Amino acid sequence: MDNIKNKLKSIGKRAIIDFYRFLDNSGALKIYEKILEESIDKNNLPKHVAIIMDGNRRAAEIYGRDRYYGHYLGAEKVRDVLRWARDLGIKVVTLYAFSTENFKRPREEVDKLMELFEKKFYEIADDEEIHEYEVRVRAIGRIHLLPKNVQKAIKYAEERTKNYNKFFVNVAIAYGGQQEIIDAVKKIAEKVKRGEIKPEDIDKELIDKHLYTADLPFPNPDLIIRTSGEERISNFLIWQSSYSELYFCDIYWPLFRRVDFLRAVREYQRRQRRFGK
């Protein structure tokens, strides 16, 4: 019985890959993609799209490869998605790359991820397209928890792009939404202790100014996309996402397509945002 189940499971994985290849080669996907793009109102785009890039390891299983291969595919997908967002006219993209909880994963996996992050930050810093389109790259999170070599790569990317302001990419790495709020509260408490501010001065705007996202344009995401079928935000931008529209997509991140991205934007435009009113 177990052998039969394993065979069926294997056939299912191959069928998924074959189906996507069929769609890509049939031309039908391109037609649908064009219809989707034409249906999008360019005057009602989300300014800030945040993405929870989930499903790398499960995508690797489909290909019968190890989890690092899934992370590699996920990192490669980032380039495509940033291009789609930029070409559509979106100003800011924030990517949830690595949470503080992810440090609890197996040591070998974490080490491989750190190698990948180091490599990708250097690559993005020297990418001709990044400089051609004046993309500013920022990392948000508890950066001091990362290995020194990764911190160095992040600093290099930030320095190389610090004067750009046409398109913004924020990478949430060693990031946790609850910890972000705790860190902000601690900074404010220190200022109260030093007599720089009074307790009665503490309000939403003051907290905003002490978050990791304080000096970012459009810090609050209009749209949050999560791939892989999971329907939760997993401690991501929990302060900033009070009025964000959430979109959950069944597809694993490495298999995420432009049509999936356009669907998310179209769904965002179909919703009526009330902001609590």
List active site positions: 54, 102
Give the neighbor-by-neighbor strand order of the sheet with 223-226.
Answer: 135-140, 167-175, 92-99, 48-52, 223-226, 245-248
Q: Is 106 exposed, middle or buried (0-12, 13-18, 19+ CB in 10 A)?
A: exposed
Instruction: Locate 239 and state its tokens.
Output: 């302060």
Cα separation of 228 and 237, whole Å? 19
Cα separation of 155 and 125, whole Å?
A: 10
How many other C-beta atoms can be found within 10 angstroms of the C-beta atom of residue 50?
25
Joined together, the tokens standing for residue 7 give 């065979």
